[in-house]
Structure 1
Amino acid sequence: MSPIAAKESGQLCQRPDCGGRYQLAERGQLYCDACGLAPVVSADGSIGDSRTSRRLPQASEGRDSAGSSGSRSSRSSTSRSSRRSVSGRLARSEAGAAAGPMVIVRGTRSPKTTRLRLGAGLVTMPSVPRPDPRSAVLKNPEVPERKRFCGNHECGARVGRSRQGRPGRTEGFCTKCGHPYSFVPKLRPGDLVKDQYRIAGCLAHGGLGWIYLAVDTAVSDRWVVLKGLLDTGDEDAMAAAISERRFLAEIEHSSIVRIYNFVEHLDPRTGSMDGYIVMEYVGGQSLKQIANARRTPEGRRDPLPVEQACAYGIEALEALAYLHGRNLLYCDFKVDNAIQQDDQLKLIDLGAVRRMGDTESPVYSTGGYQAPELIERGASVASDLYTVARTLAVMTFDFQGYTSVFADSLPDPEHIEVFREYESFYRFLVRGTDPDPEARFASAEEMAEQLTGVLREIVAVRTGQPQPAVSQLFGPERGVVDTEPLRAPADGVSRLGARSIRWRSRGNEAAPPTASPTPPVAPPDPREIGLALPLTLVDPEDSNAGFLAGLMASAPTELIIALRQAPTDSVERRLREVRARLGLTDPASGVAARARLAELREHYPGDWRVVWHHGLVSLVEGDLATAAEAFDAVYDAFPGEVAPKLALAVCAEWLGQFDNAADYYELVWACDPSHVSAAFGLARVRLTTGDRAGAVAVLESVPETSAYHTAARVAAVRARLREGPTGEDALPELLAAGHQVVLLRGAGLEPSLSEQLSCEVLGRALDWLLAEATEQPGRLRPQLRLMDVPLDETGVRKGLERSFRRLARLAPTSSERTELVEAANRFRPRTWV
């Protein structure tokens, strides 16, 4: 800080009609905390006199005051109690449970985000080059008649309109209230403002007045923008301008337009002293221009790709988080107020920015974007977040009626393709535009984190490339339940080769029996999979966070004892106890867990962690419909998280909703391959619905880096052997299964499992050979080999005999050894010796 700044900070403003004091901004400059003007510094470094500042009026064209009738919107008739997911999935009515979904109204912490380039490192955004600033100057700056309204926000009547063939007047007085209006630019090309800024022309007409392009002759002829006022008779517009000047000196962020100065200029035509904000010139295109430039071959509007819109939303939320961290509210985010230049997004209009808790200044917002509670409750963080969600909706589909019929609601997802295709995106918008401000995202950081998760999911689905990320709410899955959904029966004999053992003993020439349908693959036990679902991470602000982080006990009984030593009671301690009691098989522990959970629900009814654990308890107890409702509520609250989708997939599988289960399992697996249970679950569902090839594909997609890679390949072999194609169509699957067994054997598969798989493959091959011999006797085919034996009856029988004898040597008991030797003898081909 300079000595002059240090000396003069706190001094009374030099302007006699102000009364404010000079404050020091972050960049070292002084500004008045009342009028926002910088002091005039004389040559000796002292603060000198200046012309008296004038009150600057404004008009509200293009932006409706929250107090005006034109911007008033009613509360949405769609409440959270009636909201459904995209397809009404997992409704509680299936199990006859009581109606009424669970509602999460608050989170526990705001995730920390790290700013990335536009696109969040996930999307390559189309670059918008910075054009020659001169090309943006309007040749004939005029305000269209349809946009001319009285500047008195209590009136808002149409002014300057054509009558009886005569064009509308650009200056005059409102015929309804007598308020003066002017739509004529006050600065012309060549005018010099403050002996420093030479006007090049008009760029646009905004809600608070004309915007001019100028050259800063004192600073390397850089391009700047001067923003003036619409007319000189609006007290609210003047107040908004003063509010803007007061806050802009504090704002310095790469995604928010930078303010350089505030100057006054004498209008020689009227004699009035007009004020202008001098700000950074941001070339490029606004989101409105980018969206409007997209057209279908028929000329209709083509919405932005949803991933591109999400990238814009993440960048905007990062800028809003900065403002909220400084106790400022943006109030008027929309497609007009953000410009993309190169690969960066900037908020350009700060006219509506206000302090949090300011109940005196008028709130400026735009119909169709403003939150429904804005009129009655005023601006808040929640209302700011609402505008971002509405902007995303406007950009991603043809949102007809968003300022009228759907002024504070969303269309039914059945009619919107992007909602049907991306359920998580729809749920994100639903929470972001919830009529209840308390039910929206808790902060811009949390909203950006969830939108990033939704974007990862969309990119993964569209590109086929996983986009995993570390969750800030959930830990990793605790295990993969039922990794052998097609395992052999307990007697060690192949399930698929068992028919051969039953009927094809040595010398028996009977025909093979008719194959019975393959039974569906049963899902794992709800208790086991409930205990394997991810745990919620401990809130670092919880009073027991440090104590819980240091707990070394892992067994449920030991953990319950250790939790009694916690220094204080807290939500996290109780949740950890509930989770530990679920791990006990004693019925009394389940009753105790339910009691602890009931206490938490009574004291913390909207806490998402309590709702999640309610789902876990219900799942472990087998109440799948109630569990689905709880997990669905968590999905509503955090649409960018993987864990709720995985839990819903399990519930859907058990409820017999195989299409929903497959959708959720596939979504989780496509986005984050670390959740291997999704791959096994998707394979089970596909096998149950007859998609054997799809089940094999997903099992073989488990990467080699996974600890479950071998288990997945073993399950893929067994999936290939299930009842499927017959005749020649079955041959490729047999050969592929045998090839996989050879590869697994070479990779070090344990001998007993290797020989068991060999028995299963060879048993299925023997079934196929005998059926072929019955249906097409005497047919000759090229000699093939399956694993290391010839693919004919004699070769396969020899292979079976050898594998069963090897299994007998590895058998742990004499009874099993005897049974396996007898099986080897029965399969041995007929010989003369």
Structure 2
Amino acid sequence: MPLCNRPDCGRGEIDEDGFCPECDRRPLRRRRPVPRASAAGPAHGVSVGVAQVRPDPWYGLGLIDADHAPEPPDERPAPAGPVAEEHRFCLNPVCARPVGRGHDGEPGRTAGFCARCGTRFDFAQLQGLTIAGRYDVERLLDSGAYGTAYLVHDRNLETRVVLKALHRSVARTARHERDVLVGLRHDSIVRILGYEPEGPHLVLEYVPGAPLCAREDDRLETLLGHGLRILQALDYLHARGLLHCDVKPLNIIRFREEGSAGSARPLDRVRLIDFGAVRSQEEAGPVVAYTKAYAPPEGDPEHLGPTPGFDLYGLGRTLEEVCGPYGTERAAPGVDSLMLLIERATDTAVPQRRFVSARQFGEQLSGVVRQIVAAPPTARQVARPSALFGPMTEPLHGGLGAARPLGHWVRAAAGDTWPTMPAPFSCPGPRHIAAALPTPLSDPDDPRVGDPAGTALAESRLALRRGDTTRAARALARSELPDWHWLHAWYSGLLALAREDVPRAVRHFTEVRRSLPGELIPQLALGLCAEVLDDREVARSHYGTVFDTTPALGAAGFGLARVHLLAARRAEAVATAERLTQEFRYEREARVAAVRLLITVPGAPPVRRPEEGDLARARAALDGLHADDAVTAALRAEIQYAAFLGTHDGLPLSDAVRELGAHASTEQEYMALVDLANRLRPLLEWRWPRRSGRTGHSRIGPKPDTLRS
């Protein structure tokens, strides 16, 4: 038997139905690799990667702290009296016509005979009703056009179960629902226990809970965790070629599940119920049974040829309803991303933008959860490789993570006045940003990104790295991706940066963020663009979200530190750099940045000169830096320069510049530093020696000195 070829499984033997018993999914289809480009195409190693499968798109569940489970529902006995009129149907399964209904302002009869088939009915009392000789009805759970569900006591099993009878197309629908449920085994899907031909009725497990909704004390990530569990159930269902077709809060039961023996607390769980509208993905014809408020609008392609997207739309509307109260504070961590996620899931203007698989939806939803739990009080950061973007190793510190170049001191020596120094750091330029941003991977759920499109995008990326924007634009056009596609928008943004059209790049990266709200790279790109445009508050917002979520993206940390300092928040800037030192990849640059941020004055107010305490911290941090001699000398000179701005005592700065001379690369630089050190020496008063018969005189001037190597 062939083995499962999925990377996150790779061990199960495929059964006769084509499924892996280990991961409960079909094996991946073999895809042809992207051919190596010719001389005119992209070079080897520069291509759009192809992610064959999304590894664990449900990882957001592991980030959610166990929340308190809901209290069991108050199961009071059904009130005495007749069954409500909306629940009265003929007991003859062939007829199932509404009976006992009122008209002309008069109430309906509680007992009588069906006008169509003559079957007797009596709805005077619900309690005491027994079905099939073994199910004692306790109360009505739900009733609608397609079925009625009762909570009953099973005499044989001595437990409570749900008995579901259908009103229309009873025999076929009940058998269909029965056949579907019999083959399903998933923790988030209701289980079938039996089938009663009388009625007929389905016998389902009783889940003592309530329809999914937000409680007063619910945390947002808890509700999103339930969304992930339902996505897992839908992924399981869709892998078996089935569609639920009626995903809505009423069909998602939230319940209290007791943990194993010795467990500290019960679990908060959900189950997907009511499979009365289930259908095969291969079934032809439009969708018939659905709830209008949770289904795509009429005329949408999903109605004529439903796909898994039909269920995903319903879940998007469900999250919109359940999480609606949280959407009023879009500035709260992760909330804006959540709203963008819901907008994509329920997009009716461009239906192709919607999610096409539960795993695609789950990857972005997990990313949103990661952004939410990164904020206090949870403050949980997770470094996780992106499923859609390659790695980003360039720190983009803009000079902040390195010592001030020796050339700055040389140019200062050539000035007519002192002190005059270039800016200590700067935001990376647009072209530098375009070259540093990572290469995207192909979307494993998107059939539009095949070999031709992947080759065209790889050629566009290579042309951008060579600075050939014309060729890059032509290659992007050959990909034939629609303008709204996130890959097209991403490459368009890189192209705009390469042409230094930053406002256009912002528009394209905003479109990428709308499509991928759970990803951090688009937010990082928007933060960099905002800093280039000197929109510091927007830059701080994007940088803060990325850095709080995962400090491993060091470019966000350096950018946040720069923005903090320019806004006169020196303490926050230093704290950001010190936090970044915990990331091994950027530890050295971050330690240098922490020293410089303590003493740097980037330019005009509102940034004030460092205080004596800042200078003392910088000297202490420099002693523990263990950098090479050139870096240490440059940082020591910068510390003395900061002190000089406050005290105007040039002697310590002169000594520091003298130390820099040992690292000059040319004689010209060396002589410039010699002159600078001499100009910084304090003015001294000295006298000529007295001679016999003459009066000595004095003059003021600098003491000659030279640098010693």
**TM-score for both structures, normalised by structure 1:** 0.65
Letter in 1 for 2:433: I
Which of residues 135, 139, 144 in structure 2 aligns to 1:202? 139
Residues matched between the structures, number: 618
1:347-362 → structure 2 map (5 Å cutoff): 347-359=272-284
CA distance 1:603–1:475, shift in 2 (3 Å) = closer
Which of residues 425, 437, 447 in structure 1 aligns to 2:351? 437
SS at match of 1:466: coil
SS at match of 1:252: coil
Match of 1:120 in 2: 61
Distance 1:312 1:124 in 2: 13
Q: Alpha-carbon deviation of 1:258? A: 0.9
Match of 2:253 in 1: 339
Answer yes or no: is the 8 Å Cα contact 2:552–2:583 preserved in 1. Answer: no
Match of 2:452 in 1: 570
Letter in 2 for 1:127: H
1:162-177 → structure 2 map (5 Å cutoff): 168-170=108-110
Q: Alpha-carbon deviation of 1:494? A: 9.8
CA distance 1:281–1:185, shift in 2 (3 Å) = farther
Q: Alpha-carbon deviation of 1:369? A: 1.6
1:86-125 → structure 2 map (5 Å cutoff): 111-113=54-56, 120-125=61-66
1:148-227 → structure 2 map (5 Å cutoff): 160=101, 168-170=108-110, 184=123, 188-189=127-128, 191=130, 193=132, 197-199=134-136, 201-202=138-139, 204-207=141-144, 208-216=146-154, 218=156, 221-227=158-164
SS at match of 2:576: helix
Residue 591 of structure 1 pairs with residue 529 of structure 2: no
Q: Alpha-carbon deviation of 1:319? A: 0.4
Match of 2:226 in 1: 312
Residue 460 of structure 1 pairs with residue 374 of structure 2: yes
Distance 1:259 1:465 in 2: 39
SS at match of 2:245: coil
CA distance 1:503–1:284, shift in 2 (3 Å) = same
Answer yes or no: is the 8 Å Cα contact 1:741–1:757 preserved in 2. Answer: no
CA distance 1:526–1:244, shift in 2 (3 Å) = same
Match of 2:329 in 1: 417
Distance 1:683 1:691 in 2: 9
Match of 1:816 in 2: 669
Q: Alpha-carbon deviation of 1:361? A: 8.5
SS at match of 2:197: strand
CA distance 1:169–1:615, shift in 2 (3 Å) = farther
Answer yes or no: is the 8 Å Cα contact 2:154–2:160 preserved in 1. Answer: yes
Q: Alpha-carbon deviation of 1:635? A: 1.5
CA distance 1:373–1:324, shift in 2 (3 Å) = farther
- Which has the higher relative contact order, 1 or 2, with Cα contacts under 8 A spaced 6 or more apart? 1
Answer yes or no: is the 8 Å Cα contact 2:142–2:148 preserved in 1. Answer: yes
CA distance 1:521–1:818, shift in 2 (3 Å) = closer
Distance 1:24 1:682 in 2: 53
For residues 24-81 of structure 1, give each alpha carbon's deviation from its aligned partner in whole angstroms, at most 9, with x where no partner exists. Answer: 999xxxxxxxxxxxxxxxxxxxxxxxxxxxxxxxxxxxxxxxxxxxxxxxxxxxxxxx
Letter in 1 for 2:246: D
CA distance 1:603–1:757, shift in 2 (3 Å) = closer
CA distance 1:703–1:724, shift in 2 (3 Å) = closer
Distance 1:358 1:647 in 2: 44
Residue 326 of structure 1 pairs with residue 267 of structure 2: no
Match of 2:433 in 1: 529
Distance 2:573 2:521 in 1: 22
For residues 468-501 of structure 1, give each alpha carbon's deviation from its aligned partner in whole angstroms, at most 9, with x where no partner exists. Answer: 3221111121412244248636534399x98999
Which of residues 595, 607, 613 in structure 2 aligns to 1:735? 613
Q: Alpha-carbon deviation of 1:618? A: 2.0
Q: Alpha-carbon deviation of 1:145? A: 6.0
Q: Alpha-carbon deviation of 1:320? A: 0.8
Q: Alpha-carbon deviation of 1:147? A: 8.0
Distance 1:632 1:525 in 2: 19
For residues 622-649 of structure 1, give each alpha carbon's deviation from its aligned partner in whole angstroms, at most 9, with x where no partner exists. Answer: 1223322222222122111111111122
Gaps of 5+ in 2: 1-15, 20-49, 258-266, 687-702, 704-709
Letter in 2 for 1:824: A
Letter in 1 for 2:69: V
Residue 766 of structure 1 pairs with residue 706 of structure 2: no
CA distance 1:182–1:199, shift in 2 (3 Å) = same
Match of 1:393 in 2: 320
Answer yes or no: is the 8 Å Cα contact 2:51–2:387 preserved in 1. Answer: no
SS at match of 1:205: strand
CA distance 1:353–1:136, shift in 2 (3 Å) = farther
Letter in 2 for 1:279: L
CA distance 1:746–1:123, shift in 2 (3 Å) = same
Which of residues 264, 289, 294 in structure 2 aligns to 1:364? 289
Equivalent pairs: percent with the same residue? 32
Answer yes or no: is the 8 Å Cα contact 2:286–2:304 preserved in 1. Answer: no
1:462-541 → structure 2 map (5 Å cutoff): 462=376, 463-485=378-400, 488=404, 490-493=406-409, 502-503=417-418, 522-537=426-441
SS at match of 2:428: coil
Letter in 2 for 1:816: E
Distance 1:469 1:180 in 2: 64
Distance 2:17 2:492 in 1: 52
**TM-score for both structures, normalised by structure 2:** 0.75
CA distance 1:520–1:765, shift in 2 (3 Å) = closer
Distance 2:503 2:532 in 1: 10
Q: Alpha-carbon deviation of 1:703? A: 3.1
Q: Alpha-carbon deviation of 1:754? A: 1.6
Q: Alpha-carbon deviation of 1:717? A: 3.1
For residues 651-704 of structure 1, give each alpha carbon's deviation from its aligned partner in whole angstroms, at most 9, with x where no partner exists. Answer: 222334332222111111111211111122223333444444433332232133
Q: Alpha-carbon deviation of 1:203? A: 5.2
Which of residues 420, 427, 441 in structure 1 aligns to 2:340? 427
SS at match of 1:493: helix
Answer yes or no: is the 8 Å Cα contact 2:473–2:495 preserved in 1. Answer: yes
Answer yes or no: is the 8 Å Cα contact 2:253–2:270 preserved in 1. Answer: yes
Letter in 2 for 1:441: F
Answer yes or no: is the 8 Å Cα contact 1:419–1:425 preserved in 2. Answer: no
Q: Alpha-carbon deviation of 1:583? A: 1.8
Q: Alpha-carbon deviation of 1:464? A: 3.4
Q: Alpha-carbon deviation of 1:188? A: 4.7
Match of 1:261 in 2: 194
Answer yes or no: is the 8 Å Cα contact 2:453–2:478 preserved in 1. Answer: no
Answer yes or no: is the 8 Å Cα contact 1:203–1:213 preserved in 2. Answer: yes
Match of 2:78 in 1: 138
Answer yes or no: is the 8 Å Cα contact 1:383–1:437 preserved in 2. Answer: no
Gaps of 5+ in 1: 1-22, 27-106, 266-273, 295-301, 400-412, 505-514, 546-567, 771-792
SS at match of 1:461: coil
CA distance 1:687–1:705, shift in 2 (3 Å) = closer
Q: Which moved more, 1:462-471 or 1:637-646?
A: 462-471
Answer yes or no: is the 8 Å Cα contact 1:240–1:361 preserved in 2. Answer: no
Q: Alpha-carbon deviation of 1:743? A: 2.2
CA distance 1:168–1:722, shift in 2 (3 Å) = farther
Distance 1:286 1:759 in 2: 67
Match of 1:269 in 2: none
CA distance 1:306–1:498, shift in 2 (3 Å) = farther
